[in-house]
Amino acid sequence: MPSILVTEDNESLRKAIREFFLRERFEVEDVADADAALAALGRRHFDLLVSDVRMPGPGGNRAGLELLKRVKATDPDTIVIIMTAYSDSDDAVEAIRAGAKEYLKKGEDFSVPVLVAKAKQAFEEQQLQRENKVLRSSLSVHYDPSRILWRSPRMAAVMELSKKVAPTNSTVLIEGDSGTGKELVAHAIHALSPRANRPLVKVHCAVLSEGVLESELFGHEKGSFTGAHTRKQGRFELADGGTIFLDEIGDTPWHIQTKLLRVLQEREFERVGGTVPVKVDVRVIAATKHSLRELARSTKFREDLYFRLNVVNILLPTLRDRPEDIPVLAQFFLERYRSDARKDSRGVSPDAMGLLVKYAWPGNVRELENVIQRALVLSDGEWIEPRDLPADVRLGEDALALGGAELARSREEQEKAAILEALTLERGNRSRAAARLGLNRTTLLYKMKKYGLIQ
């Protein structure tokens, strides 16, 4: 139950306020002057202080305002509501500036029930803010650095470097194929940095059109283009004090690259349609699945921006290049998704694990995650067996015994056979056949075309 301290020299009003709060089951203490209030505040924490402005004793006409400042200095979480009979707009401004939640004028907009309602509203808001904080931190649970798993020396080196660079303000460029864990590493660096309590703001540079991307990144001024009805803050401003994660930086249009270069050099920019420079304190982490060096060579990417971004370079190895990680990751995903699938699978059988380790994983860790999720749904024993794995993964088995072109041909034949089998079993339903094969529908259609199964 929230606790409340009421400071009011008018006894009948004080008792009325006390009664009303008690009726709402709040915990209430009441005092008649600022001295007694300070003593009470020194003894314990109150969630809310309701105070008059003019009271006998020290501070006199401004006793309530002084009390407000003392509380905010020592216990900033305490909500303060000021009420006064002598309304003075200067006092009101001062009170709000000093952190008061409300400034109520007795007589005008004041009655005890209004005060109680305002207090309850303030408690609710505070609760919501706390929940948001928890929510924000739980969002990163998925990216909890302690949940990044590896066994391989190559990943160990990546993590070592990430830990080393995290506490600095250095710009970091993370390169690696799709699904290798670039975003996860970006989150880890942020979480291990002194900026961890500030926001990590993500921008996906590839999916937005040039105009939208520019105003997402830098914000815009009111009226800067049709539809810009209000001023909007960009992600750089939202990330102030924290980190911005520029995903797929390689796909950023040239004009925006120029603007990014300036932010990296001078930590300032202008909003779209604006003339006043906005200063920010933001750490930049960028990721790309293309080689930025190559893009810079072929003049698709500004070379100067490449050098600015590439202060520390973290290259994530493909999963094929670190097969030692496959068993731990498989077990980890199994534990993560077991309860969703309502299965009490204990693990991956040795045969199935053999296939997982041999497979090439073009989609890297994300593909492994999907394969385990799907296997959990299909499996009905204690262990995940080869039959629970997609055809692509199962094919590895015999293909390994063959070599070169023969292998490719054999793989293709087997793949075609597996597709036909799935289509037969699903009576021609392509979506279900795709699910059975662990492919998405577009990939299935592509493969059906390739094998001449459809036009």
Ligand X SMILES: Nc1ncnc2c1ncn2[C@@H]1O[C@H](COP(=O)(O)OP(=O)(O)OP(=O)(O)O)[C@@H](O)[C@H]1O
Which residue reads 């703001």 in tokens? Answer: 201
248: contact with Mg ion by CB under 5 A: no
When asked if residue 144 is in the footprint of Mg ion (CB under 5 A), the reply is no
Distance CA 416, CA 343 (A): 31
Give the nearest residue (CB) to ligand X.
Answer: 181
Smallest separation, CB 147 to ligand X (Å): 6
295 binds, among Mg ion, ligand X, none (CB under 5 to 8 A by kind): none
Nearer Cβ to ligand X (280/287): 287
What sign does the dihedral 282-288-294-297 (CA atoms) show? negative
Decide: is 426 part of the binding site for Mg ion (CB under 5 A).
no
289 binds, among Mg ion, ligand X, none (CB under 5 to 8 A by kind): ligand X
Nearest alpha-carbon partner for 245 in 140, 328, 161, 350: 140
Shortest separation between residue 344's beta carbon and Mg ion, angstroms? 32
Nearer to ligand X, 147 or 450 (CB): 147
Residue 183 is a binding residue for Mg ion (CB under 5 A):
yes
Q: Looking at beta carbons only, is 285 or 389 nearer to Mg ion? A: 285
Query: What residue is closest to Mg ion based on CB?
Result: 183
Q: Which residues bind ligand X (CB under 6 A)?
A: 147-150, 176, 178-184, 289, 329, 332, 365-366, 369
Stretch that binds Mg ion, among 85-93, 177-185, 221-229, 260-268 (CB under 5 A): 177-185
CB nearer to ligand X: give 85 or 139.
139
Minimum CB separation from ligand X for residue 328, in Å? 8
3-state helix, strand, coil split of the chain in percent (to 5) is: 50, 15, 35
Spatial distance between the Cα atoms of 123 and 432, rounded to a whole number of angstroms:
51
Give the HSE-up count for residue 107: Cα atoms under 13 Å, Cβ half-sphere.
4
Q: How far is the CB of 244 from ligand X (least distance, A)?
A: 15
Which of Mg ion, ligand X, none interacts with 367 (beta carbon under 5 to 8 A by kind)? none
Residues 6+ apart with CB under 8 A from 18: 6, 28, 30
At its nearest, how many Å lie between ligand X and the CB of residue 233? Answer: 25
Sign of the four-CA dihedral 369, 375, 376, 381: negative
> Cβ of residue 304: shortest distance to ligand X, in angstroms?
25
120 closest CA partner among 79, 92, 67, 85: 79
Q: In sequence order, which residues have a C-beta less than 8 Å from that of residue 402 and are 6 or more positions away? A: 410
* Site stretch for Mg ion (CB under 5 A), options 175-183, 218-226, 419-427, 435-443: 175-183
Q: What is the 3-state secondary structure (H, E, C) of 268-335?
A: EEECECCCCEEECCCEEEEEECCCHHHHHHCCCCCHHHHHHHCCEEEECCCHHHCCCHHHHHHHHHHH
Nearer to Mg ion, 35 or 183 (CB): 183
Structure tokens at 342: 């309502």
Nearer to Mg ion, 33 or 247 (CB): 247
Pick 40 or 157: Cβ nearer ligand X? 157
Q: Which stretch binds Mg ion (CB under 5 A): 120-128, 180-188, 313-321, 402-410?
A: 180-188
Q: Which of residues 211-230 bind Mg ion (CB under 5 A)?
A: none
CB of 237 to ligand X, least distance (A): 24
Size of the site for Mg ion (CB under 5 A): 1
* C-alpha 327 chain-centroid distance: 28
Q: Residue 51 is inside which H or E element, if any?
A: strand 48-52
Q: How far is the CB of 287 from ligand X (least distance, A)?
A: 6
Residue 7 touches which of Mg ion, ligand X, none (CB < 5 to 8 A by kind)? none
Query: CA 160: distance to chain centroid?
Result: 23
Whether residue 225 contacts residue 210, with contact meaning beta carbons closer than 8 Å, is answered with no
Measure Cα distances from 214 to 8, 40, 259, 288 in Å. 54, 53, 9, 19
- Residue ranges in contact with Mg ion by CB under 5 A: 183
